Structure 1
Amino acid sequence: MKLCIIKPPLPFGWAPIVPPILEYLAALTLRANPDIEIELVYASATPDVFDTLECDLAAISLLTPTAVPGYRIADTLRVRGIKVVFGGIHASAMPEEAKLHGDAVVIGEAESVWPTVIRDFLAGRLKPFYQGERIPLDDLPTPLYGMLKGKEQFRIVNTSRGCPYNCTFCSVKPFFGPQIRFRPIDDVVRDVAAMAEKMYINGDENIWWEGTEQRAIDLFTALRGSGKKWMGFGSLRPVLSSAGSRMLNAARESGLLSLWVGWDAISDEGLKAYAANGKVGVDRERAVRTLKDHGIDVSLFYMLGGRDDTLDDFKRSIEVADRLGVSMHPSLLVPYPGTKLREEYEPHLYKELGWEYYTGAYALFEHPDPAMTPAMREQQFYESSLELLSMPRILRHMFKIPRQGFPHAHILSLMSQVPVRKGMKIAYEQWKKDHLTVQEKRLIL
């Protein structure tokens, strides 16, 4: 038997990161059955392989922005007699939809059911749906690092799952649950050591949690011996806790160069509307300055164009970047399926816009302010994004990165921002070509 594990293409080009599902699901597969032949396919890097791809079973992992190309790939393979099983956050949120394009759908986390999927396929009795359980993370295999051959420069390690916060826009809690499940620290150290690269990404939703700062300190202390640099995603609230300074020092000493922070909304009103103020804390600007004082570069991710946002928020985002000396990465608000925000925005959605528009670059819902037309929101989004990602700004930011990170943090800043800039320019050119057609779809009732 041959299994192909497929990650559909990203909307706006290739990114230099190995999708973790590829090498991790390969490891799960070989644990279940070491006789299976496996091929990994990252469609962003190799988009033209599907007409000639040979396998018995294809496993396709879906995010909402990649659902449409994922379905297209599945349809192509099934015409040739190849069975398809879907998984991932989008397939879990929309299993009946995914089943229209596949033979089976794994709902939720795969570990508890993937061996059964393999056995059922080999026995010729593949079921339409498999419900994964949220199990402890104390027996996860090391991904088969290096199995995907390409020019990708970063690999991802995960150390926990789950989220206790109630942000309405986020898919993490509905998918992974409200309880934080930690992996054993020794297993994380093992996985980091198995990577050939000298720099990696901690792919957790949050590298530290309020109330579990000591666990974070213990993890970072254990990683000090790896000799590797890394970047990760983190919330701001624990930064200002009583253990915050010790935690930041331990993180920096373990190789943390850059933290990607969910700023979420420009205004405090926007934070409250998304129920994200609990995660951010009471003084988020002071938390950012504290991170920088500890030698950690900061990039802020946030959303624009929500129903509680104003046109002024687009301009204010540039002021925040200048005032705090950080890089800023906006998107237009996306009501992903399975989230509370989706339920809240349901009456206002442009129903004719399919998942291919759920990229963070399109206005997907009506806005109560007549000035916030879809075209205006999109135009303002691109103008502010391209200003924030202009080469002069990217280069000026190099002088604002804490000196403790030189030269790795400075190189990392270029490697992370330049591809985003390239993707944004591609998206903008595409938008200029098709925004009138998209507007016509919005007018269909």
Structure 2
Amino acid sequence: MTHTPSKFHLILIKPTHYDDDGYPIRWRHNWIASNALACLHALAMDCRDRAVLGHETEIIVHTMDEISQVVPTRRLLRQVAGDGNAALVCLVGVQSNQFPRAMDIATPFLDADLPVIVGGIHVSGCIAMLKELPDDLREAKARGIRFFAGEAEQGRFEQVVRDAHAGRLPPIYNFLDDPPEITGQPTPLLPGTVLERSGWHNMSIFDMGRGCPFVCSFCTIINVHGRKSRFRSPDDLERIILENHRMGIHQFFITDDNLARNRNWEALFDRLIALRKGHGIPLRFQIQVDVQVHRVPGFIDKAVRAGVDQVFLGLESVNPENLAGAGKKQNKVGEYRKMMLAWKRHPVVLIGAYMIGFPNDTAESIRRDIEFLKRELPLDLVYFTVVQPLPGSQDHQRLYEAGASMDTDMNRYDTTQPVMDHPKMTREELRAAYLDAWRRFYTPEHMATILRRMFALGSNKKLTTANRLHWFSYFYPHMGVHPIDGGDHPIRKRRDRRPTFPRENPLVFYPRNLLRVARNIITAHFLLYRIRSLMRRIRRDPATADYRDIAIREALDNK
């Protein structure tokens, strides 16, 4: 008689968050996948392949990124019920703004008596920095939800799986004081069902290191991942590239907060160069670095040879007082242009992160700073955020312990809106200044300047620049969504509305949603057409070859 193995379901869900109308932000295709989901999916598949529950128990892994997938809750519940309700629901990489949505996703699973565990920056940050659990975590704990604080490698996730299978999950797993080494750990990889809806089928995400030595007061990284840097090896990197290559993925966003501080950067770039040449893999990368990267000998030249063509720079501000107050003393405004021009010797798209709402900011100073960015710096794109005291940061800890008034709705902590009072502006004035920053930087005139600089510098990143200009200029001004949360073709489900909002009548919801989708698609494609038409006109203009301005003159003169 053949023995039928039992089944244990691992359900991994990366939640999205709600928009201002109370609907989950969801797209047919989103821009950037989740690194946390890739890491946990790899750990789950490793548990399955090694049969950590014994060969009599088959582990079935379900992995979903809600920003581009509808979670099939009813189907999952039926499937799990048919297998004796043996399952663990993992809400993965949950940020503060995603925590309310995560709690709503958990409800039907809790109602079916399935164990639910939540991990990510919000849970880890609150446990790391606060003396007691805040109200939202206490409420979740009272509902029976478990917490995972820290990172899951080096057998930590396997321990959770074993405990869940045995029915002995503790209320909290806390590994914050013992960050794992990540060298030789399972290759972070997303399944095809997620990748086909992310990055337009050809882009994935991974990390090469964790931890940060800096002490920025607004940052959660140092308090969740620690200040000790830990790295993957060149062999790990090669496995990541080859595994993705087999699925046709050749473009990547490396999520390291500062790749230039990875002590193995040269060996990593050498391995990528060898993969490009030896295997003929057309690799392209977007990386994040600090503003002192040009002082690292050979880094920029070798990064470009390895396939880096988009670089994210944490400028944060051009006001020295703001930088000092945020603990960003390593940022020297006088170095910004020099650093950017070092990159601009190559065909690289530069993306600057800029924060609005520091205590010294006013509506007028923000306008002045935006004009400085446009005039003085050869940035192709700027990524604006509102200063928020994110749970897990020193700023949040200080304000929380002082009893300062902060919004209690975590859904608002998405870095696009004020969540506390500002000393020089009302919340309405700050939000208006934030919207004005997007509109003021991405004017047709300045986008034309960016394109002229691109042609004058001889860059071949024409479509990349035009497409990114479209993406960054469209989402917040037109849809109220940050570009990082953007995607192609918005999807709303009437029954998914946040419980604190009334459910809309079908006769109202469906016509309104159809008009909304049509308007968004038409305006998005029209803006893209305008930008590409502008690029073609500038390319045909004979004067473009002789274009000069203060931001790029030094690079052209040296050239």
Instruction: Give the TM-score, by structure 1 length.
Output: 0.87
Query: 1: distance between equivalents of 2:9 and 2:101?
Result: 22
Determine whether 1:123 maps to 2:166: yes
CA contact (8 A) 1:67 1:90 kept: yes
1:309-336 Cα shifts (integer Å, max 9, x gaps): 2323321224313422311111110111
Q: Which of 91, 104, 118 lines up with 1:60 in the alignment?
A: 91
Alpha-carbon spacing, 1:352–1:19, altered in 2? closer, same or farther (3 Å) = closer
Task: Look up the match of 1:209.
Answer: 261
CA contact (8 A) 1:318 1:384 kept: no
1:129-144 to 2 correspondences below 5 Å? 129-132=172-175, 133-144=178-189
The percentage of counterpart residues that share the same residue type is 20
Shift in Å at residue 11 of structure 1? 5.0
* Counterpart AA for 1:247: F
Q: Which of 205, 208, 218 lines up with 1:156 in the alignment?
A: 205
Task: Look up the match of 2:528.
Answer: none
Q: Which of 15, 31, 45 lines up with 1:16 in the alignment?
A: 31
Task: Look up the match of 1:436.
Answer: none
1:263-274 to 2 correspondences below 5 Å? 263-274=315-326
* Counterpart AA for 2:42: A
Query: Which segment drifts farther, 320-329 or 120-129?
Result: 320-329
Alpha-carbon spacing, 1:360–1:58, altered in 2? closer, same or farther (3 Å) = same
Shift in Å at residue 28 of structure 1? 0.6
Alpha-carbon spacing, 1:331–1:298, altered in 2? closer, same or farther (3 Å) = same
CA contact (8 A) 1:235 1:280 kept: no
Alpha-carbon spacing, 1:428–1:29, altered in 2? closer, same or farther (3 Å) = closer
Query: 1: distance between equivalents of 2:334 and 2:442?
Result: 28
1:137-157 Cα shifts (integer Å, max 9, x gaps): 212111334343432122112
Alpha-carbon spacing, 1:273–1:414, altered in 2? closer, same or farther (3 Å) = same
Query: 1: distance between equivalents of 2:62 and 2:456?
Result: 42
1:16-415 to 2 correspondences below 5 Å? 16-34=31-49, 35-47=58-70, 49-54=72-77, 55=80, 56-61=87-92, 62-94=94-126, 96=133, 97=137, 98-100=140-142, 102-112=144-154, 113-132=156-175, 133-149=178-194, 150-153=196-199, 154-195=203-244, 196-209=248-261, 212=263, 215-224=264-273, 225-226=275-276, 227-241=282-296, 243=297, 246-278=298-330, 283-315=335-367, 316-326=369-379, 327-346=381-400, 347=402, 349-369=404-424, 372-390=425-443, 393-394=446-447, 396-401=449-454, 407=460, 409-415=461-467
* Counterpart AA for 2:312: W
Query: 1: distance between equivalents of 2:272 and 2:353?
Result: 26
Query: 2: distance between equivalents of 1:422 and 1:281?
Result: 28
Determine whether 1:6 maps to 2:13: yes
CA contact (8 A) 1:203 1:232 kept: yes
Query: 2: distance between equivalents of 1:222 and 1:67?
Result: 38
Q: Alignment partner of 1:278: what SS? A: coil
Which runs of 5 or more structure 1 residues have no equivalent in the other structure? 430-445
Which runs of 5 or more structure 2 residues have no equivalent in the other structure? 1-7, 20-24, 50-57, 81-86, 128-132, 277-281, 483-559
How many residues matched? Answer: 420
Q: Alignment partner of 1:92: what SS? A: helix
Alpha-carbon spacing, 1:100–1:398, altered in 2? closer, same or farther (3 Å) = farther
Query: 2: distance between equivalents of 1:423 and 1:50?
Result: 29
Alpha-carbon spacing, 1:352–1:191, altered in 2? closer, same or farther (3 Å) = closer
Shift in Å at residue 130 of structure 1? 1.1
1:11-48 Cα shifts (integer Å, max 9, x gaps): 56443222122232122112223331111111111246
* Counterpart AA for 2:386: L
Shift in Å at residue 287 of structure 1? 1.3
Task: Look up the match of 1:426.
Answer: 479
Alpha-carbon spacing, 1:402–1:80, altered in 2? closer, same or farther (3 Å) = farther
CA contact (8 A) 2:294 2:300 kept: yes
CA contact (8 A) 1:165 1:279 kept: no
1:241-271 Cα shifts (integer Å, max 9, x gaps): 4x1xx11100011111010110112311100
Using CA pairs under 8 Å that are at least 6 residues apart, name the structure with larger relative contact order, 1 or 2. 2
CA contact (8 A) 2:9 2:61 kept: yes
CA contact (8 A) 2:347 2:459 kept: no
Query: Which segment drifts farther, 416-425 or 102-111?
Result: 416-425
